[in-house]
A and B are shown apart, each in its own frame.
Chain A
């Protein structure tokens, strides 16, 4: 029973944190600037916007800001679950990168975590609608910025 309790609490915590993390990533991403003035420690000036968004998501999920290790999405393994996509309004296919117009103002940004394995023992058996794989997403509209400050997507 203790294990069940542990798994349930852990599962809720994980899912909630992942939901929060993608929102943090999207809220930063639409500002369309590098580095993030609120978190200058996260992205090197040469990083792309996609890379910087990924780092924000990792940090929001508990990774250390310097090494990006730890937390739910630390390291390259954690980063592999994070997906950043840009859409031109009116189209349904994400823009294939590299494309310098991907993060133009008015485009739609979708930050998602896809099929993240939440390591619960009994969750799928108790909650029929739950799954040990979590997918969460957040979306918003890119801000138009001064052309010389717009980072590479």
Chain B
């Protein structure tokens, strides 16, 4: 006959097993799950914000500080933590072909500029809160001063003047190395857009890039991310 003191043993063993098996499952679901949710919200914010940026011409003919745009951005970005825990970056990028170079003051026949044959920023506007460790995918260069380090600010020497909409002068875009997007832009598959060879985008057409970075949902010992991010090209 079984020892009466051993009655109820099964239940205790069950509970112990549950702790060692279920707890990791729970933590995994909790940490990974919430980050997945946050990533979903980041992707959707990037898509919605970018679509509005382009279709309503914010930054081009309408101020990015427009109250409606600010209000709508806050509404759609709240889930992703915008503005306190997320950053949205709007950029307008053009290819410096002969015609664009000439517009920027390039001379010669054909006109030649320091940034000829490169994609350059015409506009770079950041809103929200800078997220530590947010590196836009896939490692696109942000406008930088000098030979490629630092960040553009108003009248930064590497970038030239920038207005309240983050718009640079065309003459600076075609000549300042700090405004080149960088070779990594070709990783997006846009390198085949070459107006000079009559393939790809017509001359002067821009590519609009939107990037979103957000604070991740880290769980000590389970999930440790630097930042959540997404980008989209329109």
Q: Which residues of A contact B (CB under 8 A)?
A: 1-2, 4-5, 8-9, 12, 15-16, 19, 23, 26, 87, 89-92, 106, 108, 110, 112, 126-127, 129-130, 135-141
Q: Within 8 Å CB of A129, what residues of B?
A: 81, 217
Q: Is B34 an interface residue (CB 8 A)?
A: yes
- A4 CA to B56 CA in the complex, in Å? 45
- A112 CA to B25 CA in the complex, in Å? 33
Contact of A91 among B19, B26, B29, B68 (CB under 8 A): B68
- Name the interface residues of B111-133: CB closer than 8 Å to any CB of A: none
- Which A-chain residue is minimally distant from B66 (CB atoms)? A90
- Chain B interface residue count, CB cutoff 8 Å, equals 32
Contact of B52 among A19, A108, A137 (CB under 8 A): A108
Q: Which residues of B contact A (CB under 8 A)?
A: 18-19, 22-23, 25-26, 29-30, 33-34, 36-37, 40-41, 44, 48, 51-52, 55-56, 62, 66-68, 71-72, 75-76, 78-79, 81, 217
| B33 & A12 in contact (Cβ 8 Å cutoff) | yes
| B78 & A135 in contact (Cβ 8 Å cutoff) | yes
| A5 & B56 in contact (Cβ 8 Å cutoff) | no
Contact of A1 among B26, B51, B66 (CB under 8 A): B26
In the A-B complex, the 7 residue pairs with the closest CB atoms: A141-B55, A12-B33, A137-B75, A5-B26, A92-B67, A139-B72, A137-B76
Q: Within 8 Å CB of A110, what residues of B?
A: 72, 75-76
Contact of B18 among A1, A91, A126, A139 (CB under 8 A): A1
Q: Within 8 Å CB of B26, what residues of A?
A: 1, 4-5, 8
Contact of A140 among B22, B23, B29, B48 (CB under 8 A): B48
Report the tally of A-B residue pairs with Cβ distances under 8 A.
87
Q: Within 8 Å CB of A16, what residues of B?
A: 36-37, 40
Q: Within 8 Å CB of B66, what residues of A?
A: 89-90
- Which B-chain residue is minimally distant from A15 (CB atoms)? B37
A-B contact pairs, 22 of them (CB 8 A): A1-B22, A1-B23, A4-B26, A9-B29, A16-B36, A16-B40, A19-B40, A19-B41, A19-B44, A23-B44, A89-B56, A90-B66, A108-B68, A110-B72, A110-B75, A112-B75, A127-B34, A127-B217, A136-B79, A139-B72, A140-B51, A141-B56
A50 CB → nearest B CB, Å: 17
| A138 & B37 in contact (Cβ 8 Å cutoff) | no
| B48 & A5 in contact (Cβ 8 Å cutoff) | no
| B78 & A5 in contact (Cβ 8 Å cutoff) | no
A86 CB → nearest B CB, Å: 11
- A140 CA to B29 CA in the complex, in Å? 32
| A19 & B79 in contact (Cβ 8 Å cutoff) | yes
Q: Within 8 Å CB of B71, what residues of A?
A: 92
Q: Within 8 Å CB of A15, what residues of B?
A: 37, 79
Known A-B contacts A8-B26, A19-B79, A141-B51; A90 and B68 likewise in contact (beta carbons under 8 Å): yes
| B40 & A8 in contact (Cβ 8 Å cutoff) | no
- Which B-chain residue is minimally distant from A2 (CB atoms)? B22
| B23 & A138 in contact (Cβ 8 Å cutoff) | no
- Which B-chain residue is minimally distant from A136 (CB atoms)? B79
- A19 CA to B52 CA in the complex, in Å? 18
Known A-B contacts A8-B26, A9-B33, A138-B44; A1 and B72 likewise in contact (beta carbons under 8 Å): no
| A135 & B36 in contact (Cβ 8 Å cutoff) | no
- A3 CA to B37 CA in the complex, in Å? 20
Q: Within 8 Å CB of B62, what residues of A?
A: 89-90
Q: Within 8 Å CB of A8, what residues of B?
A: 26, 29-30, 33
